[in-house]
Amino acid sequence: MAAGGISDDAIGFWLRCRELPEMKVAIVHYWLTGMRGGERFLEALLDLYPEADIFTHVYVPEAVSAKIRAHTVHTTFINRLPRAARWYRFYLPLMPLALEGLDLTGYDLIISSESGPAKGVLAPASALHVCYCHSPMRYVWDFYHRYRREAGWFSRLAMPLCCHYLRLWDVTSAARVDAISANSTAVAGRIRRAWGRADVTVLLGPIRSADFDPTRPRGDRYLFLGELIAYKQPETAVEACLALGRPLTIIGGGPLLGRIRRLARGHDVEVLGRQPYAAVRERLATCRALLFPGEEDFGLVPVEAMASGAPVIASARGGALDTVVDGETGVLYPGETSEDLVRAIQRFEGLGPFDPARCARRAAFFDVAAFCERFSAFVAAARAARNGGRD
């Protein structure tokens, strides 16, 4: 059995499929308004299917990479609504209708990249439709009550009816997909609970490990890297380092930036805001360890840290359970408070130096080339299952 639950027979089938005529491929991605984990996955798919066309609700060309811009991008009618580039989330109730209006006639393979609505397209009967799920829509499922508490008064009134309708559609549209993969074990569990689909293959997300340098000398500063929003818990990292008197660097922007700067004032805490990719790689290559107190669906940042030779101190939740090896490439700790993180840092420091080469070897498992092989095998297995096991 190969990694990710794909059989050796399926891999052999994929190798034979490489000799077949080129498939016409459509990739349906929820929206293209920035470069986050979902867009990095999309880039990996474009490596695998270089002639693929992209379909999305909203497209902001200047916000995505040149690799994505080089492809034909089709949008739904959401893109033509007022201020869609900024207000697209307010149009969420219209997205099921928008997806079902896409004409995918002539495509042999449809890949939906799901975090916002993407999988609900009406695929031609002859096409294979596979879904790679970053997470079922968290704002209508497991984070629903949190989002509603933090929403404005009008959204609080509208959310119960809108989200009830979206949940019904979300479950119904899951039945249209031939095969589903998840980017972590935690997300696979959410899919089973939310969509009722037990046939989920875990395909851990891709990184470009060659972008990172694990050979640099490590410094003494801890690092928090990510959007400064509540569920990523940047305040937890600051409070823990203040309690221990440890130096900390914070990289990221977002609504909590002002609060983090106020917490850091007068202490050895650098708050750098958003930084270019080169600066991020530099800090990953030289930090003492990455602090990761939040819960992510998969979490590219811990894997990028390990690719840089940096150990990771992560709350034992979500995708970190699939990526960080406790005691070898970092420390996984129970709980989510700053006191829990303090104890984890103390344990980390007591374990002594972590081997950067071991961290980098762990990260290599998630390299984009290895991911593409596993994803291709997943598609081949889905096609074989659809054909009743026949090649």
DSSP state at residue 5: G
Please give the helix or strand (H or E) that residue 46 lies within, else none: helix 37-48
Q: pLDDT tens track of the chain, all 391 residues?
A: 344 444 444 444 444 444 345 789 999 999 999 888 889 999 999 999 999 999 999 999 999 999 999 999 999 999 999 999 999 989 999 999 999 999 999 999 999 999 989 999 999 999 999 999 999 988 888 878 887 887 888 888 888 899 999 999 999 999 999 999 999 999 999 999 999 999 999 999 899 999 999 999 999 999 999 999 888 999 999 999 999 999 999 999 989 999 999 999 999 999 999 999 999 999 999 999 999 999 999 999 999 999 999 999 999 999 999 999 999 999 999 999 999 999 999 999 999 899 999 999 999 999 999 999 999 999 999 999 988 755 5
Distance between CA atoms of residues 134 and 187, nearest Å: 7
**Domains (ranges, CATH) in the chain?**
3-206+367-386 (3.40.50.2000), 209-364 (3.40.50.2000)
5 φ/ψ sector (left φ>0, alpha ψ -120 to 50, else beta): left
Q: What angle do CA 103, 49, 176 make, to 5 degrees?
A: 40
pTM for the predicted model, two decimal places? 0.85
Contact 108, 23 (CB under 8 A): yes
Distance between CA atoms of residues 39 and 32, nearest Å: 8
Distance between CA atoms of residues 16 and 232, nearest Å: 43
Distance between CA atoms of residues 152 and 89, nearest Å: 14
